[in-house]
Amino acid sequence: MKHKLIAGLCWVATALAATSCLEKDPDYAAGAPSPLIALEDVRRLYQGTRVVLEAGQLSGAHQVAGLVVSDAAGGNVPGGPATLVVQSKRRGTVRGILIPLSGPSTPAFAVGDSVVVDIDGATLARTAGALRLEGIAPDRVRKVSSNNAVTTRDINVNTLLTDFEAYESTLVRITGGSLTPLPVSGDTYAGNKTLADGAGNHLTLHTEATAAFAARRLPASATFVGIAVGALDASQALAPQLWLRTAADALDPSGPIYPKFPESFEGVPQATKGSYNLNTAAVPDNTVTFGTGPWKLYQSILGNTSGRDRYTGTQGIRLQQALTESATVEMKFDLPNGATKVTLLYGAYYTDAASSWQLEYSQDQGTTWQQTGPTVTDAGNFQRTITFLLTISGPVRFRINKLGLGANTPATPNGRLGLDDIAIYEN
């Protein structure tokens, strides 16, 4: 009750404090109506037709608060340089929206600025495929603070396309994709480029011709950070895009992703590998065949518990805890053209302790293994991604080796580990 009272006072006392509380994901207190309404609730008001926002629809509120994620200095802002892209987080849910500012002058805002926006009388509309708050003058946007940390969610191309509403107008980091066709000498960011994963899912990477990095050379593949933007294709159907803000949003460029990757461990029923150590006719020596090929899941199962397992689709891998032997997720096949990069998603299962794991590779069909990169020990109760940069030539296979450190203790944490979206890039 004390926490809820404090959160309530924070909302009512001042819009400045309200913005801070919103980003910290507060509980909401009963009492006097707040002047603020969550972006998530505003977005729900759009049901296919334009909506003029009034107090009755906003439950007595007239403001939204959030953090700026667009970067006008980079010159690649959906809607143009006078548009703000703002996102906020409430009870673990991140939502965003475009706010084109209509006025003779546009104040300067930077990534991480906390703002409060008066939306009374504004129009909620989907224009050119993107949901926007239209009719807001610059003087109705007030900056509260600067240099705040912005949430960037880690997803893959398929996740964005499958659940676009959850990611529209927010900052995302996309792994497991390559530009297609492969860039050749002289290809730049300017225009529409196709970002594809190995499973055939496609997303448009859009860069305005006036962007500061439009003339930069285009990599074959990278981990791309950008704003997920609604757009329309030639048939006027919704066609999501990703808009990088600056050249720095292309992280760890490399060769193209291998076909059928990232391996998302989908397409096989969870019950197929519901035991940590299994040797049956259907699962010989813990080996299950997924879209990329056969993988040995030793002391590992397919996990699909929402909020506990770490995955982006319907399931991922969960490795056992408190073992004195290694738990492994191992490729039983080679990739022919070496590797320049491996990315994957990981995190501790539910509220489990962290653990220690390594990425290892073999160039003799799994007879011997060599560690690459550091031993990873920071798995927490959330999803994160990691990138390993490599210079491997010739046939290669990989495995995740969760070290067998024994009993789970404060001095030697050894909890369950979740994995998903393993992506491998050619040399």
- DSSP assignment of 270-299 equals GGGG-SSS---SSSGGGEEE-SSSEEEEET
Looking at residue 383, what is its pLDDT? 92
Per the rule left: phi > 0, alpha: psi between -120 and 50, beta: everything else, 220 is alpha
Instruction: Classify domain 35-145 at the CATH topology level.
Output: OB fold (Dihydrolipoamide Acetyltransferase, E2P) (2.40.50)
Return phi, psi of residue 325, to 5°. -120, 165
The three-state secondary structure class of 203 is strand
| Nearest C-alpha neighbor of 136 from the set 173, 162, 164, 97 | 97
- Give me the sign of the Cα torsion angle 75, 80, 86, 87: negative
| Nearest C-alpha neighbor of 367 from the set 409, 390, 399 | 399
Q: Could you tell me what percentage of the chain is helix, strand and coil, using 3-state DSSP and rounding each to the nearest 5?
A: 10, 40, 50
| Nearest C-alpha neighbor of 231 from the set 203, 197, 190 | 203
All CATH 2.60.120.260 domain ranges of the chain, comma separated, are 270-425
Cβ neighbourhood burial of 330 (10 Å; 0-12, 13-18, 19+) = buried
* CA geometry: angle 293, 299, 301, nearest 5 deg: 60
Q: What is the Cα–Cα distance from 99 to 42, expressed in whole angstroms?
A: 13
Instruction: Classify domain 270-425 at the CATH topology level.
Output: Jelly Rolls (2.60.120)
For residues 73 and 52, the answer to whether their CB atoms sit within 8 Å is no
For residues 427 and 393, the answer to whether their CB atoms sit within 8 Å is yes
150-179 CB burial, b ≥16 within 10 A, e <16 = beebbbbbbbbbeeeebbbbbbbbbbbbbb
Looking at residue 9, what is its pLDDT? 35
pLDDT tens, per residue, the chain with 427 residues: 334 333 333 333 444 444 444 444 433 444 567 899 999 999 999 999 999 999 888 989 999 999 999 999 999 999 999 999 999 999 889 999 999 998 766 678 999 999 999 999 999 999 999 999 999 999 999 999 999 999 999 999 999 999 999 999 999 999 999 999 999 889 999 999 999 998 899 999 999 999 999 999 999 999 999 999 999 999 999 999 999 999 999 999 999 999 999 999 999 999 999 999 999 999 999 999 999 999 999 999 999 999 999 999 999 999 999 999 999 999 999 999 999 999 999 999 999 999 999 999 999 999 999 999 999 999 999 999 999 999 999 999 999 999 999 999 999 999 999 999 999 999 9
Instruction: Classify domain 153-254 at the CATH topology level.
Output: OB fold (Dihydrolipoamide Acetyltransferase, E2P) (2.40.50)
Radius of gyration of the chain (CA): 23
Looking at residue 105, what is its pLDDT? 66
- Give me the sign of the Cα torsion angle 326, 331, 332, 336: negative
Confidence (pTM):
0.79
Q: What is the Cα–Cα distance from 288 to 269, expressed in whole angstroms?
A: 11
Q: What is the DSSP letter of 121?
A: T
Amino acid at site 249: D
Q: Tell the residue number behind the tokens 């002058």, with chain if given.
A: 105
For residues 48 and 54, the answer to whether their CB atoms sit within 8 Å is no
Q: Tell the residue number behind the tokens 């939502």, with chain if given.
A: 95
Amino acid at site 310: R
Looking at residue 106, what is its pLDDT? 67
The 357-362 sheet, strands edge to edge: 287-289, 294-298, 327-331, 397-402, 357-362, 370-376
Residues facing residue 88 across a β-bridge: 95
| Nearest C-alpha neighbor of 418 from the set 398, 405, 402 | 402
Looking at residue 34, what is its pLDDT? 85
All CATH 2.40.50.200 domain ranges of the chain, comma separated, are 35-145
